[in-house]
């Protein structure tokens, strides 16, 4: 069926099809990051998982990162768990990647409030980078313990060794 043949009329915010009026709303696409895994390099290991969703204007979700073994003794063995997603930047697929995003969240590190985690992720190559800051703590996976292995937006991310992420 050719849509043009059945279109009777249109008004602001609606399409009229004969006796039926269908409302049309300009709603931004809902976006999300889902998944988890681990990054391993030499003796260093970090595991992570969670989901972050942008539904309309609202940011929702939870994310957890376990710093099993890293070079910063104040971070090694610690766990970050988000309590609030405060900012997300999404990057549409370019010639070298499917999708990428940066998300800033606040939360607890080893059960104590007052920490910020920035997660940078790329879908096509499944790459991540973590930056943790808070009272007495400043740690970034790059350029310290993990090699930059991405060719997408933000080239300082390392490839996921086990697991997968999906950015929509």
3-state secondary structure at position 6: helix
Q: What is the pLDDT of residues 69-112, one digit of tens each?
A: 999 999 999 999 999 999 988 877 665 567 888 899 999 999 99
Q: What are phi and psi of 6, to 5 degrees?
A: -100, -5
- Residue spans of the domains in the chain: they are 31-167
Q: What is the pTM of this model?
A: 0.78
Predicted pLDDT at 94: 61
């Amino acid at each position: 069926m050719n849509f043009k043949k059945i279109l009777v009329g249109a008004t602001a915010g609606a399409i009229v099809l004969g006796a039926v009026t269908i409302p049309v709303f300009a709603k931004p696409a809902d976006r999300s990051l889902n998944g988890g895994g681990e990054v391993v390099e030499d003796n260093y290991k970090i595991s992570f998982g969670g989901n972050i969703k942008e539904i309309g204007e609202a940011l929702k979700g939870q994310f957890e990162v376990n710093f099993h073994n890293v070079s910063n003794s104040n971070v090694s063995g610690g766990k970050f768990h988000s309590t609030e997603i405060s900012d997300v930047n999404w990057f549409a697929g370019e010639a070298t990647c499917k999708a990428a995003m940066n998300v800033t969240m606040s939360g607890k590190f080893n059960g104590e409030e007052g920490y910020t985690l920035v997660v940078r992720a790329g879908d096509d190559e499944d790459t991540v980078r973590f930056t943790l800051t808070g009272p007495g703590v400043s740690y970034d996976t790059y350029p310290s313990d993990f090699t930059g292995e991405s060719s997408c937006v933000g080239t300082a991310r390392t490839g996921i060794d086990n697991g997968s992420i999906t950015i929509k």
